[in-house]
Chains A and B, each alone.
Chain A
Amino acid sequence: MSSVMAGLAPPAGGPWRGALRHLRTNPGMRISLAVILAIVALAAFGPWLNPNGIETLDWSHVASPPGLQGAHWFGTDRLGRDLFARTLEGTRVSLGVGLVASLVSLLVGVSYGAVAGYIGGSTDELMMRIIEILSGLPLIFFVIFLTVIFGRNEYLLFLSIGAVGWLTMARIVRGQTLSIRRREFIEAAVASGAGTGRIIAKHVIPNVIGPVIVYATLTVPQIIMFESFLSFLGLGIQEPQASLGTLIAEGAGEMEAASWMLLIPGGFLAVLLLCLNIFGDGLRDALDVKER
């Protein structure tokens, strides 16, 4: 087995060892990971730290700046709702949508790419042609239409955002599949009588999973950005629920009088996206994944 692997072998110790080494030597990646974990922890445990609810209206503190008054650490909005609670809720929603929609795009992209790459021939050509056409279309318009037509349903939001994200994933998986298709372990599986579906599921996909995970970490920030974009336009998460996008939209309207309403959720989104990108980029460099 080891001599078979030698040609395409990743650095000694396997790809994950390389990634770990990168994590140790790359301070940007380490800091980003720490910040991401801190934001996730804050989003998860924040509600226990602060007594204020998401929808509670505090009429004695309307549009008050960040401070200790009434435990409104991040201040309040025009209706006296606590911005700490709402920002954390928004972060939770954005992270949740990002994870679920990434999972959708991962499932679709991996199975599509693996099938196209493994079967090959004219099937592959047709499937890749479809991807080419889809990636040429302004998919954002179709997402806007879908959300307009079928109402602002959250499940639909996950689905349509995930549907946008799978194209690049499918390309990467196909490329990886092509490179292992002729290897001995696949031949051995064919010789032992395994069906195509079984080979793809048991032999192809497990062997392309490294790059998939790397690209998935880069998909999460893209999808979070997309979700907040839709929410900003008023097509995504609806009141009284908050997403970072809706909070930024509200804050942008109030920025002259209440700049914290913009700066706090905007800062959360910017830092979160930045750290996710730095971490994903670092992981990609460590495992040397090509995007085409």
Chain B
Amino acid sequence: MFRYFLKRVAGAIPTLFVIVTITFFLIRAAPGGPFDQEQTLPPEIMANLQSAYGLDQPILTQYGRYLRALAHGDFGPSFKYKDFSVTELIGQGFPVTLQLGVIAMALALMLGIPIGTFAALHHNSAGDYATMSLAVAGIAIPSFVVLPFIGLLFGIYLRWLPVAGWEPGSMRYLVLPVVALALPPLSVIARLTRSSMLEVLSSHYVRTAFAKGLPLHLVIVRHALRPALMPVASYLAPAVASIMTGSLVVESIAGLPGIGRYLVQGALNRDYTLVMGMVIIYSALLIAMGLLVDLLYAWLDPRVRLER
């Protein structure tokens, strides 16, 4: 297990390297530069700025320098947020984004799995139809529509919760964004759990478990749940990707000081290093998630052999 883990971590490095390389040349191929402004800067100042950030060097030299700094864990200075390094910017915003994402993911799993199981156990009942209709709505309606709608209802009409803003340590500001962000993955998880649970419940070993007189909750917990969660496990990586993309808009609507805004803003401002930092962080997270899913798979299904 441990050897497999190390092998996968080592395998992630070339993937990240390819992503870093593609992003580096792609963003530099874009017209315009980080110091373009409404009024053109005098050429001397422009030249000074360019050389201060090493942008006057040939692109391959810049690439080499960037990689060397990156290998030491240095993401470089931000070009637009003067006096801030990319590490500082991401370091400030990341805890907020992480908090938002982790709570949303936990909510999606902790509600989605029981709801799906409930629907499967009450197959073709009114409860099944009701929950699955809600799930279609949850999948169909994007979070940037859900969030303003629930903000209008709970924030402006009922005045229960703040619509937007942020206060460190206060959970009140996270409630609405978390709900909006969690709904789509929650709905997918409920649907996946329901359909795979239906399949498992009709299998022979579950029939046997019932036949030997085991009560329902024990059949579910001991026998049915584990195999039924396989599709949910393989959905985890796409779920994380969907929460990441969702948080780009949710943070901006809710005014949360996370890192979501840096990606689009950084790309529009040609803030090369900031964009690179964001892409690296997000890709690393996704790769880590993929690894976690594989480990989870081996735990859920003993027939899966990791060491090959």
Name A residues whose Cβ lies closer than 8 Å to a Cβ of B: 28, 136-138, 140-141, 144-145, 148-149, 151, 221, 225, 228-229, 232-235, 245, 248-249, 251-252, 255-256, 259, 262-263, 266, 269-270, 273-274, 276-278, 281
The number of residue pairs between A and B whose CB atoms lie closer than 8 Å in the complex comes to: 100
Contact of B26 among A149, A232, A263, A273 (CB under 8 A): A149
Contact of B23 among A145, A233, A273 (CB under 8 A): A145
Pairwise interchain contact A136-B30, C-beta atoms closer than 8 A: no
Q: Cα distance A98–B213 when bound, in Å?
A: 53
Contact of B136 among A225, A251, A277 (CB under 8 A): A277
* Most B-side CB within 10 Å, residue of A140, A148, A248, A269: A148
Contact of A259 among B133, B152, B245, B253 (CB under 8 A): B152
Task: Provide the residues of chain A in CB contact with B137, threshold 8 Å.
Answer: 274
Contact of B148 among A137, A144, A262 (CB under 8 A): A262
Pairwise interchain contact B286-A277, C-beta atoms closer than 8 A: no
Contact of B267 among A148, A270, A274, A276 (CB under 8 A): A148
B246 — nearest CB in chain A belongs to which residue?
A: A229
Contact of B253 among A252, A256, A273 (CB under 8 A): A252
Task: Provide the residues of chain B in CB contact with A234, threshold 8 Å.
Answer: 264
Q: Cα distance A200–B26 when bound, in Å?
A: 35
Q: Cα distance A148–B267 when bound, in Å?
A: 7
Pairwise interchain contact B237-A266, C-beta atoms closer than 8 A: no
* Residue B206, interface by CB 8 Å: no
Pairwise interchain contact B268-A138, C-beta atoms closer than 8 A: no
B139 — nearest CB in chain A belongs to which residue?
A: A277
Pairwise interchain contact A138-B283, C-beta atoms closer than 8 A: yes
Pairwise interchain contact B142-A278, C-beta atoms closer than 8 A: no
Q: Cα distance A228–B283 when bound, in Å?
A: 24
Pairwise interchain contact A248-B152, C-beta atoms closer than 8 A: no
Given known contacts A136-B290, A225-B142, A270-B140, A141 and B279 CB-to-CB distance under 8 angstroms: yes
Q: Which of B262-307 contact A (CB under 8 A)?
A: 263-264, 267-268, 279, 282-283, 286-287, 290
Q: List 28 A-B contacts (CB under 8 A).
A: A136-B287, A138-B241, A138-B244, A138-B286, A140-B241, A141-B282, A144-B263, A149-B26, A149-B31, A221-B140, A225-B140, A229-B142, A233-B249, A233-B264, A235-B264, A245-B144, A248-B148, A255-B163, A256-B163, A259-B152, A262-B152, A269-B142, A270-B140, A270-B141, A270-B145, A274-B141, A277-B139, A277-B140
How far, in Å, is A195 (CB) from chain B's closest CB? Answer: 36
Q: Cα distance A140–B163 when bound, in Å?
A: 27
Task: Provide the residues of chain A in CB contact with B290, threshold 8 Å.
Answer: 136
Pairwise interchain contact B23-A136, C-beta atoms closer than 8 A: no
Q: What 7 additional pairs, Cβ within 8 angstroms, besides A233-B264, A235-B264? A: A137-B19, A233-B252, A252-B144, A252-B147, A255-B151, A255-B163, A256-B156
Pairwise interchain contact A281-B286, C-beta atoms closer than 8 A: no
Pairwise interchain contact A138-B142, C-beta atoms closer than 8 A: no
Pairwise interchain contact B286-A136, C-beta atoms closer than 8 A: yes
Task: Provide the residues of chain A in CB contact with B152, threshold 8 Å.
Answer: 255, 259, 262-263
* Most A-side CB within 10 Å, residue of B31, B140, B283: B140
Pairwise interchain contact B140-A274, C-beta atoms closer than 8 A: yes
Pairwise interchain contact B140-A233, C-beta atoms closer than 8 A: no
* Residue B161, interface by CB 8 Å: no
* Most A-side CB within 10 Å, residue of B141, B156, B283, B290: B141
A259 — nearest CB in chain B belongs to which residue?
A: B152
Q: Cα distance A263–B237 when bound, in Å?
A: 33
Pairwise interchain contact A248-B267, C-beta atoms closer than 8 A: no
Task: Provide the residues of chain A in CB contact with B149, threshold 8 Å.
Answer: 262-263, 266
Q: Which of B19-54 contact A (CB under 8 A)?
A: 19, 23, 26-27, 29-31
How far, in Å, is A87 (CB) from chain B's closest CB? Answer: 14
How far, in Å, is A77 (CB) from chain B's closest CB? Answer: 15
Task: Provide the residues of chain A in CB contact with B133, threshold 8 Å.
Answer: 28
Pairwise interchain contact A248-B141, C-beta atoms closer than 8 A: no
Pairwise interchain contact A273-B283, C-beta atoms closer than 8 A: no
Task: Provide the residues of chain A in CB contact with B163, threshold 8 Å.
Answer: 255-256
